[in-house]
Structure 1
Amino acid sequence: MTTTFKSPADLLGSEGRHLGYSEWLEISQERINLFADATGDHQWIHVDPVKAAEGPFGGTIAHGYLTLSLANQFLPEVLQVENFSMGVNYGCEKVRFPAPVPVGSRLRGAGEVISAEEVKGGVQVVVRMTIEIEGADRPACVVDTISRFFP
């Protein structure tokens, strides 16, 4: 489900609004390996299924930063802003990884507007993305994303 705002100004006053959920995304070993190659993080808990099977998680797990990077995929699935000339990722706050993501897990993002305020020339919105693991009690990642939209 996508929540659409007709303009950046329409974000103002939307604090507390739940934006909905992204589509589910399965985390494959191939995705984990590609992330390891891209970042140089080849720790065995991520890329060695045989050794990881005997480790603390019973198999390989996704990198925390891989999970965090998915906020960039999930955010536009829950939030759309129309009638703007440019949008930028301004940063993140309060990143947490409450639960590991075993290979084969399905993840989705849930969004909530934490704040929206005017900034020079545009509107800044903080959206809390909760990256959920299908069937798990705790989320994989919770991050407050900061975006700016310029009309």
Structure 2
Amino acid sequence: MKKTWQEKLKDKPSIPKVLKLEKGFPCYNAVRKMGAEVGDEIVLVNPSEVVAIMKQVPEGNLITIVEICRQIARNHDVKGCCSLTTGIFIMTVANAVEEARKEGKSLDIPYWRTLKAGGFLNEKYPGGQEAHKKLLEGENFKVIARGKKYQVVDYEKYLMKLT
């Protein structure tokens, strides 16, 4: 039987896992853009660490995958975190929240306040970019089209400060 989105959020006992960055890693280019070099330690984390950060974002603030990865790296005292698995977890959280909502439950995670790098909306959220845009505009964020993508105007002004 196929796992539900909520089941996919369960942590795995073998994680977190610290690895040395190699050129062949699927997240290599993204992690390099965040400052890690070959041989630097990066971390793979469980969904619960991503959820904990996403839950902190109050109304009026935003966060991007870049800030989430930087915070996770700080938490583990390493140079970076795997942005590929983090991105998958962010998308899984969004789908789990909507799945729970349809079941009459609340996971209390404002996933729509989590953006992609550069302040872009996430096309993999439930309902795609259009639904993401509607949720953000419902909180008075201005969203504009950039080709086929959407971006929050001046998103940097709204980034939550992580410690």
TM range (shorter): under 0.3
Structure of greater Rg: 1
The answer to which structure, 1 or 2, has the higher relative contact order (CA under 8 A, 6+ apart) is 1
Using structure 2 for the length normalisation, give the TM-score: 0.23
Using structure 1 for the length normalisation, give the TM-score: 0.24
